[in-house]
């Protein structure tokens, strides 16, 4: 498509009552504007131009390195004035598509329909609102043709009863739009240059204005305050869960799963209540996610089970693994096939070999653990000396007793056994029992202290 997208994002957003500019407010962990930019990118446009103003630095900084064009609008004199600032970035033979930075749920398919209707003149996106208060109304002649958009503040009582409203989104050939924008006057109640006035200009020039309907009011909802942001968040999440269900994922309760990023699932995945997925998460076939899990930027392979209350971040879980309940996998934790991490176990920058287990109350940091190793309850890799991190290496088939401290750097040989309660600061040889403990003694006749009388 020979289009260029203009995203209006200069408005202040006072009603957010936040220091963060409106278009940077988060929807599913990403700024509102990011959603609109992503939709624009999916349209194969020649260029995407963001009209910015309020919170300029923060907004531009967030999108640093992205192939966007920027048009500063200062001061902000209305939507028509905003599009005018972007005109130098638009090609005369293109169709300009105007999106709003605070209308994040609009679907690419809807925008494509709008563009298809704008080959020879303006196409506006409209929707029927049960309560049209605040919106521009679509005025049609008796034959049903669109003749004008009247803003709420200028509308007569009769016009205010019209429920078909302007979503603000429109598409128009640039060679028509340019002259109409240049001719705009701010002779209205708000003293602004209204983009919507181009509709009347088109009609005056004998050019037909096509109205395209949005799929739903939700799709085109504008976000002005936190209440609307919360409504949009739920709508966005409903879309995510509908797609998961459609793909065959079983959700214990679609209303209690949040996807703040991209979640890819294999077949027969089960997700229990209160799961939060962030960033890129991939779940293989037959993966089971228990209740109350928070999982971000992680891959979990076929057949693995994550029990209740686990927090997993930037980890790799191999096939048929078991995690939790109450486990924490931190960045660069890697579990190989068939391994287990049990309750109150924390793992960071460590590899747990195939079939190995750390079932209870353990910290594994900067460790490389071989296959079929048993890590006893309460084992700690002492990886930090106060200044630097050091490695613990444990060979295949080793057995680490309960309550062992492994003071890194240290290596436990293959098949070695480490006695419970040992503090191991020197390498333990393969195949042998190593134990570090003072000899047990009994002091006979010893009395417990008694409480002194006052």
> Quick one: tokens of 409?
């750097």
Taking the complex as a whole, the smallest distance from the CB of residue 196 to ligand UD1 amounts, in Å, to 5
Q: Find the shortest distance in angstroms from Cβ 75 to ligand UD1.
A: 8
Give least dist CB 8 to ligand UD1, A. 4
User: Does 8 help bind ligand UD1 (rule: CB under 6 A)?
Assistant: yes
Strand 410-412 and strand 433-434: pairing?
unpaired
Say whether 360 is catalytic: yes
Determine, following the binding rule CB under 5 A, whether residue 254 of this chain makes contact with Ca ion. no
Min dist CB 190 to ligand UD1, Å, is: 8
Please count the other Cβ atoms lying within 10 Å of the Cβ belonging to residue 82.
27
Q: Could you say which of 62, 332, 360, 390 is catalytic?
A: 360
Task: Give the binding range for ligand UD1 (CB under 6 A) out of 73-81, 307-315, 320-328, 443-451.
Answer: 73-81
Q: With the C-alpha atoms ordered 13, 19, 24, 27, is the resulting torsion angle positive or negative?
A: negative
Per the CB < 8 A criterion, the answer to whether 121 and 101 are in contact is no
CB 111 within 8 A of CB 128: no
Site size for Ca ion (CB under 5 A): 2
Q: Binder to ligand UD1 among 24, 77, 373, 375 (CB under 6 A)?
A: 77
Kindly tell me which of 193 and 363 has the beta carbon lying closer to Ca ion: 363
Cross-strand pairs, 48? 5
- Among 116, 159, 213, 222, contact with ligand UD1 (rule: CB under 6 A): 222
Minimum CB distance to ligand UD1 smaller for 215 or for 282: 215
Q: Considering only 72-80, 112-120, 299-307, 396-404, which stretch makes contact with ligand UD1 by CB under 6 A?
A: 72-80
For ligand UD1, the closer of residues 128 and 316 by Cβ is 128
Is residue 35 at the binding interface for ligand UD1, with CB under 6 A as the rule?
Answer: no
Q: Considering only CA atoms, which of 223, 216, 222 is closest in space to residue 239?
A: 216
Sole binder of ligand UD1 in the list 111, 165, 200, 412 (CB under 6 A): 165
Which tokens is 115 given? 């563009």
Report phi then psi at 245, rounded to 5.
-60, -45
Q: What is the DSSP string of 183-241?
A: T----STT----TTHHHHHHHHTT---EEEE-S-TTTT----SHHHHHHHHHHHHHHHH
- 339 sits near ligand UD1 (criterion: CB under 6 A): no
Closest CA to 121 of 185, 200, 192: 200
Q: Would you call 359 helix, strand, or coil by DSSP?
A: strand
Enumerate residues 235-254 that contact ligand UD1 by CB under 6 A: none
| Distant-in-sequence contacts of 388-397, Cβ < 8 A, 24+ apart | 389/365, 390/366, 391/366, 391/367, 392/366, 392/367, 392/368, 393/367, 393/368, 394/367, 394/368, 394/369, 394/370, 395/370, 395/430, 396/353, 396/370, 396/371, 396/372, 397/370, 397/371, 397/372, 397/373
Q: Please say which residue, 75 or 445, places its beta carbon nearer to ligand UD1.
A: 75
Select from 421, 427, 429, 435 the one that contacts Ca ion (CB under 5 A): 421
Q: Are strands 367-369 and 392-394 parallel, antiparallel or unpaired?
A: parallel
Which of these, 172, 164, 119, lies nearest to 145 by C-alpha position? 164
Of 168, 303, 353, 376, which one interacts with ligand UD1 (CB under 6 A)?
Answer: 168
- Beta strands of 80-131 (E only): which ranges? 95-100, 123-128
Q: Residue 421 binds which entry of Ca ion, ligand UD1, none, with Cβ cut-offs from 5 to 8 Å by kind?
A: Ca ion
CB contact at 8 A, 27 and 118: no
Question: Any contact of residue 148 with ligand UD1 (CB under 6 A)?
Answer: no
Residue 334 contacts which entry, Ca ion, ligand UD1, none (Cβ below 5-8 A, type-dependent): none
With a CB cutoff of 8 Å and minimum separation 6, the contacts of 186 are 77, 78, 192, 193
Candidates 192-200, 229-237, 315-323, 336-344 — which segment interacts with ligand UD1 by CB under 6 A?
192-200
8 A C-beta contact, residue 308 and residue 290: yes
Per partner kind, with CB cut-offs from 5 to 8 A, the member of ligand UD1, Ca ion, none near residue 195 is ligand UD1
**Contact region for ligand UD1 (CB under 6 A) — 75-83, 359-367, 372-380, 422-430?**
75-83
Per CB under 6 A, 195 contacts ligand UD1: yes
CB of 101 to ligand UD1, least distance (A): 5
CA–CA–CA angle 305, 383, 435 (5° rounding): 90
- Rounded-to-integer distance, Cα 361 and Cα 343, Å: 6
Residues 98-117 that bind ligand UD1 (CB under 6 A): 100-102
The residue from 149, 199, 327, 393 that contacts ligand UD1 (CB under 6 A) is: 149
User: Which range touches ligand UD1 (CB under 6 A), out of 69-77, 325-333, 346-354, 394-402?
Assistant: 69-77
Q: Of the two residues 82 and 289, which places its CB atom closer to ligand UD1 in the complex?
A: 82
Instruction: Indicate whether 178 belongs to the interface with Ca ion (CB under 5 A).
Output: no
User: Is 197:179 a contact under the CB 8 Å cutoff?
Assistant: no
Question: Contacting ligand UD1 (CB under 6 A), which of 51, 105, 127, 244?
Answer: 51
Catalytic residue positions? 360
Residues of this chain that bind ligand UD1 (CB under 6 A):
8-11, 51, 73, 76-79, 81-82, 100-102, 135-136, 149, 151, 165-168, 194-196, 222
Residues of this chain that bind Ca ion (CB under 5 A):
421, 423
């Amino acid at each position: 498509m020979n289009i260029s997208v203009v995203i209006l994002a200069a408005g202040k957003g006072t009603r957010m009552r936040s220091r963060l500019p409106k278009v940077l407010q988060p929807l599913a962990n990403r700024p509102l504007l990011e959603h609109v930019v992503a939709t624009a990118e999916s349209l194969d446009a020649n260029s995407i131009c963001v009209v910015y103003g309020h919170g300029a630095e923060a907004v531009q900084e967030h999108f640093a390195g992205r192939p966007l064009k920027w048009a500063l609008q200062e001061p902000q004199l209305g939507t028509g004035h905003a599009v005018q600032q972007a005109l130098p970035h638009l090609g005369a033979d293109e169709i300009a598509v105007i999106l709003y930075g605070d209308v994040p749920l609009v679907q690419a398919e809807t925008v494509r329909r709008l563009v298809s209707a704008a080959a020879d003149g303006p196409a506006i996106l409209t929707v029927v609102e049960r309560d049209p208060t605040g919106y521009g109304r679509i005025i049609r002649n008796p034959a049903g043709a669109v003749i004008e958009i009247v803003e709420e503040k200028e509308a007569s009582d009769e016009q205010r009863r019209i429920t078909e409203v302007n979503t603000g989104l429109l598409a128009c050939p640039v060679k028509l739009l340019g002259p109409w924008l240049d001719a705009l006057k701010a002779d209205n109640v708000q003293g602004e240059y209204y983009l919507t006035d181009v509709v009347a200009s088109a009609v005056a020039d004998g050019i037909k204005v096509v109205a395209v309907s949005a799929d739903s009011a939700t799709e085109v909802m504008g976000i002005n305050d936190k209440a609307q942001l919360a409504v949009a968040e739920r709508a966005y999440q409903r879309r995510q869960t509908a797609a998961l269900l459609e793909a065959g994922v079983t959700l214990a309760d679609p209303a209690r799963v949040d996807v703040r990023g991209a979640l890819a699932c294999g077949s027969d995945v089960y997700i229990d209540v209160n799961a939060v997925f962030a960033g890129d998460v991939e779940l293989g076939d037959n993966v089971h996610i228990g209740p109350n899990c928070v999982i971000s930027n992680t891959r979990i392979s076929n057949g693995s089970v994550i029990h209740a209350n686990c927090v997993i971040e930037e980890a790799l879980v191999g096939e048929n693994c078991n995690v939790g309940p109450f486990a924490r996998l931190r960045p660069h934790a890697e579990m190989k096939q068939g391994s287990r991490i049990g309750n109150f176990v924390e793992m960071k920058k460590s590899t747990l070999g195939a079939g190995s287990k750390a079932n209870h109350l353990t910290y594994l940091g900067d460790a490389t653990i071989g296959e079929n190793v048993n890590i006893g309850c309460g084992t700690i890799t002492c990886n930090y000396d106060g200044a630097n991190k050091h490695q613990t290496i444990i060979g295949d088939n080793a057995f680490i007793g309960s309550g062992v401290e492994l003071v890194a750097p240290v290596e436990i040989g293959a098949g070695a056994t480490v006695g419970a309660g040992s503090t191991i600061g020197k390498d333990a040889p393969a195949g042998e029992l190593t134990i570090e403990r003072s000899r047990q003694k009994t002091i006979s006749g010893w009395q417990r202290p008694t409480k002194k009388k006052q």
